[in-house]
Structure 1
């Protein structure tokens, strides 16, 4: 899991290429877990009416701002992997159905072979995968 997260952070603002489903979804899961880890103390401190709520709140805001570009880059690369332009992400702004459309696009399997955004990441470096799988 962490290898895929590292890939997304290494490609911080790289909107070129393709991203496998596992790369995108592990990165998404990592972000959800980090947000939960930062958000739970915020809620607990709000309930406790503590003035210390500002510290985890600031950390949450900093992480949220810092993750915007890599998250956008990851979804664009994921859309490229399904054979779509990154501009399809703008469909997510359509009320109610837009996010569902993007969800379906990101769940889809990779388009086989090379497309205009590069080779299929499932087959890069795996030329002999089928031959070596059951040896």
Structure 2
């Protein structure tokens, strides 16, 4: 599966937590997310000094992009776990440190 097909499939099935996902879909979405967030950070690092509230804008832009990518990422992660024979609920284990 190509990069474009994989990203298109991940976003068209953004709320589908059933079924299976190939390893390539997971890693293409991970790469896509990383590149988007990296590009935002690089653009803001080279922003002119007069750019108003560049730190606030960087945090806001990264947060919005992160939230937009969060649900598709959790969905493809759950489908990837199903493909390995595990429950999709296992991805909630990463929230244990946050819950205290």
Structure-1 residue corresponding to 2:23:
21
Specify which structure has the bigger relative contact order, considering alpha-carbon pairs within 8 angstroms and separated by 6 or more residues: 2
Structure-2 residue corresponding to 1:131:
none
TM-score computed with the length of structure 1 as normaliser: 0.61
- What's the offset of the Cα at 1:50? 2.9
Structure 2: stretches of 5+ with no match in the other structure: none
Structure 1: stretches of 5+ with no match in the other structure: 96-135
> Which secondary structure state, in structure 2, belongs to the residue aligned with residue 51 of structure 1?
coil
Which of the two has higher C-alpha Rg? 1
Deviations 1:35-59 (CA, angstroms, capped at 9, x unpaired): 10111123333x8363152555433
TM-score computed with the length of structure 2 as normaliser: 0.80
Structure-1 residue corresponding to 2:66:
64
Structure-2 residue corresponding to 1:31:
33
- What's the offset of the Cα at 1:87? 1.0
Structure-2 residue corresponding to 1:50:
51
